[in-house]
Amino acid sequence: MLPERERHALREIEAELQASDPAFAAAFAGRTLREAKRWNLLLVLCDVTAAVMLVVGLFARDAALVLWGTVGAGALVAWHIARSETAAESTQDGTPAAGSTVD
């Protein structure tokens, strides 16, 4: 983690770059809001798919569907945890999270 003095200097450089050439600064800004929303949508669709696989597998008594639904749900839990930890790490230094959405 950077000292406050260095973070302040970096913020000043970023502000100057934004003011002088916004298009160039946007090229290095990281993920766009549209890309973050796309990843969130994909994650929700995967959640729904795993849940449907589990429910259909239980009602149809199909062990393969239950197995893959359970494996998928476990992987999605890990994905959710990884995303939340990444967002927490990126907000600790004062920068917004790459996957965070501001409405």
Q: 37 in helix, strand or coil?
A: helix
Helices (H), 1-103: 4-20, 22-27, 33-60, 63-92
Q: What is residue 56's predicted lDDT score, i.e. its pLDDT?
A: 93
Name the residue with higher pLDDT: 67 or 100.
67
Annotated domain spans of the chain: 1-30, 31-98
Kindly report the backbone phi and psi dihedral angles of residue 85, in degrees, each rounded to the nearest multiple of 5, phi listed first: -70, -40
Q: What is the pTM of this model?
A: 0.53
pLDDT confidence tier of residue 94, bands split at 50, 70 and 90: low
Q: What is the pLDDT of residue 67?
A: 93
